[in-house]
Amino acid sequence: MTSNAAQIRCDNDAKLYSKLLQHPDVVRTNDMLEKQSEKGDITLRRRLLATSVRLSRVMAGSVHYAADACIEALAMDIPVELYVFPGPQFNAACFKPEAGRLFVMFSSSLLEGFDNTELRFVMGHELGHHVYHHHDIPIGYILRGGTRPDVALALELFAWSRYAEISADRAGAHCAQDLDAVARALFKLASGLTGSVVQFDLDAFLTQVDDMQIVAAEPGQGAPKEDWFSTHPFSPLRVKALQLFHQSRLARRDGMTKEDLEVAVQRLMSLMEPSYMEGRTPGAEAMRRALFAGALAVADANDDISTEEIAVFERFFGSGSFTDRLSIQKLKSELPARLAQVRESTSVPQRMQLLHDLCIIARASGDVLGVERAVLQQVADELQVPRRFICQTIDADIVLD
């Protein structure tokens, strides 16, 4: 393979990154964070030194060897410090550089449960976030800050973060140079198993991934606490996307072109994007009609649609879409029928996207009230989507890991 880090980056990641970097809310948030960092009250490095263990080459030679291999493969030129914290869950994170240093942190269970090649995938994934400057988009601060972004920006940030994970996965695969090891790492992240009890089989695992896209089942079935919209290091779509990557010329000389790869990945990722807003299929039309009525039902859950909620509604559906001529009660009464049409004409992942967007609309107008959650739960029941998806979408921390 002759590809470098820039060549293997996912096209949609790069395009959305460039667009978002110029968004006024992103610029404003970055300016705020820069001013805070200049105060230098408590630095990131100080916090890491106080709460975790820095791994020296003497203490963790194999971990540093993996880091060295990834740094060379990704053509990086920055000092890297490695840390470990006690934790039973497999986890890792890369932080935005500070004072010319890059920091990567791992849970103790991950370091003890992953072999050297698997660790290179995880290490490469984390370093990939730095190489592609993903930390320049402060998604967590924007989506979880005191001032909610408009819905269009929120949805675009979610879409970008998914493609950012695809790029980071490719960086990890580029470092590992071993599809079996990459798949084992993803299997371990998904199951929490290290192989001493269950014998891993790549073909069986990939067959399961294919079945997940066909069978009408809840997302992440067989993978605890995961869902199609998670930014956690495991997702069925990301595994399939890596399989496509390894079938491309970026990984093998006789593979598909990068253009064909990106089309295939975009088709795969479309299950997680609100493309129904422009689609012309009966299912897309049914989803739009349900979203319109559902958004108003959530906003009117406490029998009073606020000015802020109207603004959020119009940011999503367009200026002037909310008028006095709208019969809110009529639309609310029609919602079950509209949801039934969606249920009959769409797949489970598409129905989850509709519920996901309603959750984003509810969250964008401020804290989600109990009566609003009740409406969302009604929608989930009508769409035959697990209610816990609502909590995961509303309450989940938004991070790149």
Whole-angstrom CA distances from 68 to 106, 123, 142, 248 are 16, 10, 33, 26
CA distance 134 to 226: 22
Whole-angstrom CA distances from 166 to 143, 258, 309, 316, 328 are 20, 14, 34, 27, 41
Q: Which of 68-82, 102-116, 350-364 has the lowest mean pLDDT?
A: 350-364
Q: Is the pLDDT of residue 86 over 70?
A: yes
Give the residue-averaged pLDDT of 247-268: 89
CB atoms within 10 A of CB 178: 16
Q: Is the pLDDT of residue 23 over 70?
A: yes
Q: Is the pLDDT of residue 297 over 50?
A: yes
Task: Specify whether the CB–CB gap between 386 and 356 falls below 8 A.
Answer: no
CA distance 363 to 359: 6
In the prediction, which pLDDT does 71 show? 97
Structure tokens at 16: 């959305």
Q: Is the pLDDT of residue 183 over 70?
A: yes
Residue 106 DSSP one-character state: E
In the prediction, which pLDDT does 10 show? 96
Strands 92-98 and 80-85 turn out to be: unpaired
Give the residue-averaged pLDDT of 214-218: 36
CA distance 120 to 5: 15
Q: What is the longest distance spanned by two Cα atoms in the chain?
A: 72
Task: Specify whether the CB–CB gap between 130 and 81 falls below 8 A.
Answer: no
What top-level class would CATH report for the domain 275-395?
mainly alpha
Task: Specify whether the CB–CB gap between 312 and 372 falls below 8 A.
Answer: no
More confident residue, 226 or 125: 125
More confident residue, 125 or 350: 125
Give the residue-averaged pLDDT of 270-284: 70
Give the residue-averaged pLDDT of 35-62: 88
In the prediction, which pLDDT does 399 show? 59
Closest alpha carbon to 20 in 145, 164, 148: 164
Give the residue-averaged pLDDT of 94-100: 92
Give the residue-averaged pLDDT of 76-97: 95
Radius of gyration of the chain (CA): 22
Supply φ then ψ for residue 377, to 5 degrees. -65, -40
In the prediction, which pLDDT does 395 show? 65
Helix (H/G/I), strand (E/B), else coil: 266: helix
* Residue found by looking up tokens 């009604």 in the block: 378
Q: How confident is the model at residue 268 (pLDDT cuts 50, 70, 90)?
A: confident
CA distance 154 to 25: 11
Predicted model pTM: 0.71
CB atoms within 10 A of CB 61: 11
| Strand-by-strand arrangement of the 80-85 sheet | 53-54, 80-85, 101-107, 92-98
Q: How confident is the model at residue 41 (pLDDT cuts 50, 70, 90)?
A: low
* Residue found by looking up tokens 């295939």 in the block: 264
Phi-psi region of 345 (alpha: psi -120 to 50; beta: other; left: phi over 0): alpha
- Average model confidence (pLDDT) across the chain: 83
Structure tokens at 142: 């924007």
In the prediction, which pLDDT does 218 show? 34
Q: Is the pLDDT of residue 316 over 90?
A: no
Q: How confident is the model at residue 43 (pLDDT cuts 50, 70, 90)?
A: confident
In the prediction, which pLDDT does 73 show? 96
In the prediction, which pLDDT does 229 show? 38
Helix (H/G/I), strand (E/B), else coil: 398: coil
Q: Where are the alpha helices (DSSP H) in 216-347?
A: 236-246, 258-269, 282-299, 307-317, 328-345
More confident residue, 365 or 79: 79
More confident residue, 151 or 10: 10
Q: How confident is the model at residue 230 (pLDDT cuts 50, 70, 90)?
A: very low
CA distance 338 to 332: 10
More confident residue, 230 or 378: 378
CB atoms within 10 A of CB 166: 25
Q: Which helix (H) or strand (E) holds 53?
A: strand 53-54
CA distance 132 to 137: 11
Q: Is the pLDDT of residue 276 over 90?
A: no
Helix (H/G/I), strand (E/B), else coil: 183: helix
Where, residue-wise, is CATH 1.10.3680 in the chain?
Answer: 275-395
Helix (H/G/I), strand (E/B), else coil: 198: coil
